[in-house]
């Protein structure tokens, strides 16, 4: 690869983030695996190392400015300047609006929006210097509205506006910004939803697959494939886009 090849993936200890980190590694990137608990990323790091890739685990809360700054210091010292950032870290705090507490509103906004903002602001400095960068933000089909997710839907719709604005502001510096909006992906996040509504996860997946046009739920690898495309040098004329990876049309 002729361009710098260091990628940061947040929330990559498990789920979609782990899938994206592994895929970017197999694409040739050295990967910084950022998650709340550094030790929790051991599985992702080991999988990448076993496949012959390079990865470092970095513990950081993406919503904390000091921890984000420290994380970037480590990425640059241990791998080099990042050319790809995947803002994937996320949480859900689902409840119907009339029961939704302000703490659960603020927590979701903090991880998804403040986190993506802080990480991107830190990353763009290196990308602008290099006149090259790829920013990939995780939105969701919930951005279109989803019962019990007023906080999450607002955050994921916000991610789309954030992404389009990044594309406009950073485009002149060779930086693209795009969003991936997954539908139902089988991870601990969707497992937690099944538990909340009191349905076994397998049954929850079968129910979800029945209304998805391709008749299956998604896997982290489905999202990783889209991320691989947006992270590629050849995708340099694609920016400010939201791709729904949901087994059917969603917007
Ligand atoms: P997941 O299995 O719950 O994994 C999320 C990861 O993010 C966890 O390792 C979590 O760490 C980490 N994280 C949470 N808060 C963080 C913070 N403040 N700083 C750093 N890391 C943090 O979720 P997933 O299903 O893979 O989802 C990944 C992304 O895709 C999220 O943005 C999610 O909203 C989005 N998405 C998922 C689906 C789906 O169906 N699964 C659909 C649409 C969009 P802890 O374990 O320590 O909390």
Name the pTM for this structure: 0.98
Atom of ligand 1 lying closest to residue 89 CA: 7
> Which residue has the least CA distance to atom 10 on ligand 1?
11
The token pair at 249 is 């049309």
Cβ–ligand 1 contact at 222 (below 6 Å) = no
From first to last of its 251 residues, what are the pLDDT tens digits of the chain?
444 499 999 999 999 999 999 999 999 999 999 999 999 999 999 999 999 999 999 999 999 999 999 999 999 999 999 999 999 999 999 999 999 999 999 999 999 999 999 999 999 999 999 999 999 999 999 999 999 999 999 999 999 999 999 999 999 999 999 999 999 999 999 999 999 899 999 999 999 999 999 999 999 999 999 999 999 999 999 999 999 999 999 87
Cβ–ligand 1 contact at 230 (below 6 Å) = no
> Does the domain formed by 6-183+219-245 have CATH 1.20.140.10?
no
> Which residue has the least CA distance to atom 12 on ligand 1?
11
pLDDT the model gives residue 3: 46
Residue whose entry in the numeric block shows the structure tokens 């969701």: 140
The domains of the chain are located at: 6-183+219-245, 186-217
Residue whose entry in the numeric block shows the structure tokens 């279109």: 144
DSSP letter for each residue of the chain: --S--EEEEETTTSHHHHHHHHHHHHTT-EEEEEESSGGGGHHHHHHHHHTT--EEEEE--TT-HHHHHHHHHHHHHHT-S-SEEEE-------B-GGG--HHHHHHHHIIIIIHHHHHHHHHHHHHHHHT-EEEEEE--GGGG--TTBHHHHHHHHHHHHHHHHHHHHHGGGTEEEEEEEE--B-SHHHHHHHHHHT--HHHHHHHHHHTSTTSS-B-HHHHHHHHHHHHSGGGTT--S-EEEESSS---
pLDDT the model gives residue 80: 98
Atom of ligand 1 lying closest to residue 220 CA: 26
pLDDT the model gives residue 1: 43
**How remote is the CA of residue 229 from the centroid of ligand 1, in Å?**
21
Cβ–ligand 1 contact at 88 (below 6 Å) = yes
**How remote is the CA of residue 168 from the centroid of ligand 1, in Å?**
27
Is 13:60 a contact under the CB 8 Å cutoff? no
Q: Active-site residue numbers?
A: 152
Q: How far apart are CA 48 and CA 54, in angstroms?
A: 7
Cβ–ligand 1 contact at 13 (below 6 Å) = yes
């Amino acid at each position: 690869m002729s361009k710098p090849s260091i990628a940061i993936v947040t929330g990559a200890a498990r789920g979609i983030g782990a899938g994206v980190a592994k895929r970017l590694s197999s694409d040739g990137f050295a990967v910084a695996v950022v998650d709340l608990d550094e030790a929790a990323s051991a599985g992702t790091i080991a999988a990448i190392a076993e496949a012959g890739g390079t990865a470092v685990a970095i513990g950081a809360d993406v919503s904390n400015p000091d921890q984000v700054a420290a994380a970037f210091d480590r990425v640059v010292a241990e791998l080099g300047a990042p050319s790809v950032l995947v803002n994937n870290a996320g949480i859900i705090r689902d409840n119907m609006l009339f029961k939704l507490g302000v703490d659960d509103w603020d927590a979701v906004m903090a991880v998804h929006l403040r986190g993506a903002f802080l990480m991107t602001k830190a990353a763009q400095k290196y990308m602008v210097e290099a006149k090259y960068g790829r920013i990939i933000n995780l939105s969701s089909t919930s951005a279109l509205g989803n019962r019990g997710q007023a906080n999450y839907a607002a955050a994921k719709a916000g991610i789309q506006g954030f992404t389009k604005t990044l594309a406009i502001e950073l485009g002149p510096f060779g930086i693209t910004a795009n969003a991936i909006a997954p539908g139902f992906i089988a991870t601990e996040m969707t497992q937690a939803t099944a538990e909340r509504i009191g349905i076994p996860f397998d049954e929850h997946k079968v129910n979800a697959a029945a209304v998805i046009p391709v008749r299956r739920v998604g896997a982290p690898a489905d999202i990783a494939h889209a991320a691989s495309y947006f992270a590629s040098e050849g995708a340099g004329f694609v920016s400010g886009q939201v791709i729904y990876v949901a087994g059917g049309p969603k917007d």
